Amino acid sequence: MNHSFYSIDRTTHLKVVTVALIGAIAVAGISIAAHTSGSNGIAQGEHVRVVKAGQPVMMTSNIQLAVQ
């Protein structure tokens, strides 16, 4: 086994490239399978609820500290 990239032979180089290619295909396949598609017949912005900001509100859980 060669421990340096400078002295590897052709078959070792082919093994490294093959393992890297299989890994890249696996990552791409998993990411495509996990991708949630928005193509369920509903437009993207159709059911978006807009919330407008009202008056400023001061909220705190500590009675000694209030930041405005």
pLDDT digits (tens, 9 = 90+) for 16-55: 999 999 999 999 999 888 876 555 555 555 566 777 788 7
Residue of higher predicted confidence among 11 and 21: 21
Q: Give the residue carrying structure tokens 């009202």.
A: 54
Q: Angle at Cα 7 formed by Cα 17 and Cα 11, nearest 5°? A: 40
- The two counts, helices (H) then strands (E), for the chain are 1, 0
Residue of higher predicted confidence among 6 and 12: 12
The answer to whether the CB of 9 falls within 8 A of the CB of 2 is: yes
pTM above 0.85, yes or no: no
